[in-house]
């Protein structure tokens, strides 16, 4: 028999909000008394739409809601002694404060604040530590309706709750508003949404756990743990940009295989990275560039039948939240709090070895996909019209190739991005950022290119970010190609896509490219000599996570991505590769020897180039998803 737990409280404001706490009225403080934990053992249903609660009634009718925000279902719960577990916490709720956004600990309790300009109703949803196993998706949810007259300042909705536990609480929001898609709204109050400012996010505990593929995601917080000890002798590497040798890598894939020789509990984790620092030092690199480590859903492709529903997203370019470290990179399924601590341990250990940490960050789109097959977890349901670029008909613009485009130069979204970047610098001590499809960040709210994008300037001028490396991938999927001309304020570096292309053409034997090859090896002065820009503002690379691996580059003339379900539409068709005479794998000794020499030629060209960027990953033929 399936048991469902729901927590509910008396209604103070009256109306049709039974089963939820509302703090309307003139008083600034409301007691939440006689909360009841109801255990539903019967399958009886009720068509009562509104529900009524009375402490004196023998039966209580209310909306019973699943712990992680499945659609509400109506139920009649019998107040029978064998089916009721009572708890009587005495809470006080205050209107709260509008700053800071997210969850914060204040003198009067735990404060919650969230932005939504177009919402008409906001409900805070809480799951307490008594919920039991998070993987079991059981436990109860308290829903607290915010009163716009009491719990709203401008466009910020807020509430403060006294005596709420200082950790192990899961939370999210139901948000309602206009249902007019033509005006850009996508509100759906049946979904419990992740707070964009949640510093920690909980979901399934183990990476790729198919049994939990429909797991929901909720924010959480931890005010109980002591501050992380960075150590008395700790210091940042502070490596000059001109001396960087960057190794691009994926945290999980780096050690997830048993060939890593690590204990199974730390394979594919932040702690696993620490164990491989000697290997990184042997390579001669002094910085790692980590593929996305913000919380993402690796099983997003498997939520519905589609040609890619056999795949696991191991790269992570599908962000759910911009503040929370990927929780399933914690060791032994340790969850979000352990993930945060172990991420810091990893950074501390890398810094102790003289290795900087640069994050590949994805602020151009989110995991929420498009209107055809949306995966609403946060921004779309909170205020789609603010967070995403839309056309005049309220439809999503797609300059990311992923169905949506974050509205980066909207003031609210810009501040979110800046707050996120500062958080990773101050809380996690990272040394820099590589911005995926950074040309998106150069577009206005209508998608048109901007000569002086406010966000790009703000990042360049920000005091907290002043010590950081900031690196643009200077193109997007809408054709905004800005290699050599990315707005920079003499601060931004760029992935030098022209270096990649010209070096590939020269080494495979194309005619008429000697001059361009020499220019690239000598520092691309045609691109990086304006104002105070220097050759080190051009990041040289031959291969990266996108496109062919180094071995692919000398083994194939064409893409062969049949297994991934995208019909060959993924990735660029202009790879400037040469198969050395035979397409694909071969036992021909002469072809294999030529391919080996060609790979060495590419590596040598990169090493002798001025101010090089060593992407020494992807030496195998494929990076399996």
Catalytic residues, which ones? Answer: 436, 473
Read off the tokens for 574. Answer: 């202009």
Beta carbons of 549 and 621 less than 8 angstroms apart: yes
- In our burial notation (b when 16+ CB lie closer than 10 A, e otherwise), range 376-388 reads bbbbbbbbbbbbb
CB atoms within 10 A of CB 130: 14
User: What are the percentages of helix, strand and coil residues in the chain, rounded to 5?
Assistant: 25, 20, 55
Helix or strand holding residue 32 (H, E): strand 30-32
Which positions ≥6 away from 70 have C-beta within 8 Å?
A: none
Beta carbons of 39 and 84 less than 8 angstroms apart: yes
Read off the tokens for 611. Answer: 């101010």
Residue 517 phi/psi, 5° resolution?
-65, -45
- Longest pairwise C-alpha distance within the chain: 90
Cis peptide before 100 (omega within 30 of 0): yes
End-to-end, the C-alpha distance of the chain in Å comes to 38
Give the Cα separation of 575 and 364 in Å (integer): 24
DSSP assigned state of 399: S
Read off the tokens for 343. Answer: 């991420």
Strand partners, 202: 218
Which positions ≥6 away from 257 have C-beta within 8 Å?
A: 267
Beta carbons of 568 and 559 less than 8 angstroms apart: yes
Give the Cα separation of 562 and 558 in Å (integer): 12
């Amino acid at each position: 028999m399936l048991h469902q737990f729901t927590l509910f409280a008396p209604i103070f404001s009256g109306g049709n909000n039974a089963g939820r706490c509302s703090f309307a009225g003139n008083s600034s403080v409301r007691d939440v008394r006689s909360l009841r934990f109801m255990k539903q053992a019967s399958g009886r249903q009720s068509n009562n739409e509104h529900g009524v609660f009375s402490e004196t009634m023998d039966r209580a009718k209310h909306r019973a809601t699943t712990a992680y925000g499945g659609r509400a279902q109506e139920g009649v719960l019998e107040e029978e002694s064998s089916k009721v577990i009572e708890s009587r916490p005495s809470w006080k709720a205050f209107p709260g404060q509008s700053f800071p956004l997210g969850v914060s600990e204040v003198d009067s309790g735990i404060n919650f604040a969230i932005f939504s300009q177009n919402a008409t109703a906001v409900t805070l949803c809480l799951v307490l530590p008594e919920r039991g196993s998070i993987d079991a998706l059981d436990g109860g949810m308290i829903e607290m309706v915010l009163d716009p007259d009491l719990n709203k300042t401008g466009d910020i909705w807020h509430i403060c709750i006294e005596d709420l536990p200082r950790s192990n609480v899961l939370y999210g929001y139901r948000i309602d508003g206009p249902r007019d898609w033509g005006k850009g709204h996508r509100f759906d109050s049946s979904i419990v949404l992740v707070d964009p400012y949640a510093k920690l996010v909980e979901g399934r505990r183990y990476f790729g756990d198919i049994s939990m593929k429909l797991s929901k995601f909720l924010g959480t917080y931890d005010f109980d743990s002591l501050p992380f000890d960075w150590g008395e002798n700790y210091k940042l590497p502070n490596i000059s940009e001109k001396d960087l040798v960057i190794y691009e890598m994926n945290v999980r894939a780096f050690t997830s295989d048993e060939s890593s020789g690590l204990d199974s509990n730390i394979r594919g984790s932040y702690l696993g990275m620490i164990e491989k620092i000697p290997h990184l030092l042997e390579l001669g690199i002094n910085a790692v560039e980590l593929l996305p480590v913000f919380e993402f859903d690796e099983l997003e492709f498997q939520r519905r039948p589609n040609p890619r529903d056999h795949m696991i997203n191991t790269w992570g370019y599908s962000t759910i939240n911009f503040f929370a470290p990927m929780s399933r990179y914690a060791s032994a399924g340790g969850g979000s709090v352990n993930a945060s601590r172990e991420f810091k341990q990893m950074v501390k250990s890398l810094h102790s070895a003289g290795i900087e940490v640069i994050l590949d960050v994805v602020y151009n789109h989110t995991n929420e996909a498009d209107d055809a097959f949306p995966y609403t977890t946060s921004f779309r349901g909170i205020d789609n019209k603010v967070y995403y670029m839309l056309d005049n008909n309220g439809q999503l613009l797609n300059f990311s190739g992923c169905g949506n485009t974050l509205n980066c130069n909207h003031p609210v979204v810009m501040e979110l991005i800046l707050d996120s970047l500062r958080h990773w610098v101050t809380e996690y001590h990272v040394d820099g950022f590589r911005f995926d499809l950074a040309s998106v960040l150069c577009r206005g709210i209508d998608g048109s290119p901007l000569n002086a994008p406010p966000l790009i300037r703000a990042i360049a001028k920000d005091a907290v970010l002043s010590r950081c490396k900031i690196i643009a991938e200077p193109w997007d999927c809408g054709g905004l190609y800005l290699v050599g001309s990315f707005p920079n304020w003499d601060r931004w570096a760029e992935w030098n896509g022209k270096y990649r292309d010209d070096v590939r053409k020269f080494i495979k034997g194309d005619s008429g490219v000697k001059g361009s090859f020499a220019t690239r090896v000598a520092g691309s002065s045609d691109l990086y000599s304006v104002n105070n820009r220097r050759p080190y503002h051009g990041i040289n690379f031959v291969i990266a996570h996108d496109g062919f691996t180094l071995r692919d580059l000398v083994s194939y003339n064409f893409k062969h991505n049949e297994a991934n379900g995208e019909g060959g539409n993924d990735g660029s068709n202009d790879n400037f590769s040469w198969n050395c005479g035979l397409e694909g794998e071969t036992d021909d000794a002469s072809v294999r020897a030529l391919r080996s020499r060609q790979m060495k030629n590419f590596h040598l060209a990169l090493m002798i180039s001025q101010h090089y960027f060593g992407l020494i990953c992807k030496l195998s033929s494929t990076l399996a998803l």
